[in-house]
Chains A and B, each alone.
Chain A
Amino acid sequence: SAVISQKPSRDICQRGTSLTIQCQVDSQVTMMFWYRQQPGQSLTLIATANQGSEATYESGFVIDKFPISRPNLTFSTLTVSNMSPEDSSIYLCSVDSGGDTQYFGPGTRLTVL
């Protein structure tokens, strides 16, 4: 199994500012996935981060708003830029572990005022 940590676990931010969320895995993985869960909603994929290449974004998500870094096989960051209250969500990273399991980090609960 993979153990995933995320920082910060929660934050309250002012609109117009940016927050960088870190995701650390205890083993090397090819792909890391970033999801957003808006209040009362299900999970929506933001982007897929592959080490050594640009992240692949889903429809409705753009790099300028959600820049992602993937400097090595165990670490990734997601930045939420120029935040508005609509960005208030739980942000989760996940990794695949052998195809039959996908593990999630504990999530970052973001509130934008």
Chain B
Amino acid sequence: AQKITQTQPGMFVQEKEAVTLDCTYDTSDQSYGLFWYKQPSSGEMIFLIYQGSYDEQNATEGRYSLNFQKARKSANLVISASQLGDSAMYFCAMREGPSGNTPLVFGKGTRLSVIA
């Protein structure tokens, strides 16, 4: 079974609108971390936001927020006030276990296109 599922291969959003990118995860660990990355066409992986499994509040970083629903095992990324520069691939990822020195498992990604 896939550990990270991103069901939206592609999404379109109007500039200045908000958009939600879906991510569900599967783990039996009680301690884990969830990450979102942005990958523009240049190929670099840009860290956006992190949510720990024990964090009670949803993480926020500027225009990015993570809608964490633990019981549903979902960790959706919300981008507010979309900008043309937000057009990129977005990957959801998970680290299982409490240790930081653990690699990430990635979803297949969602390609976001922002329309002027």
Contacts and interface: CB of A to CB of B under 8 A. Distances in A.
A and B are partners in one complex rather than unrelated chains: yes
Interface of A: 30-31, 33, 37, 41-45, 48, 90, 92, 94, 96-104, 106-107, 109
Given A42-B109, A43-B91, A102 B43 contact: no
Contact of B102 (A43, A96, A109): A96
Contact of B47 (A31, A44, A103, A106): A103
B44 A106 contact: yes
Interface of B: 33, 35, 37, 42-45, 47, 50, 52, 91, 93, 95, 98-109
A92 B45 contact: yes
Contacts of B108: 41-42
Nearest to A34: B103
Main secondary structure of the interface of A (DSSP, over half): strand
A43 B52 contact: no
Given A30-B101, A42-B106, A107-B44, A101 B91 contact: no
B52 A100 contact: yes
A48 B103 CA distance: 8
A11 to B, nearest CB: 13
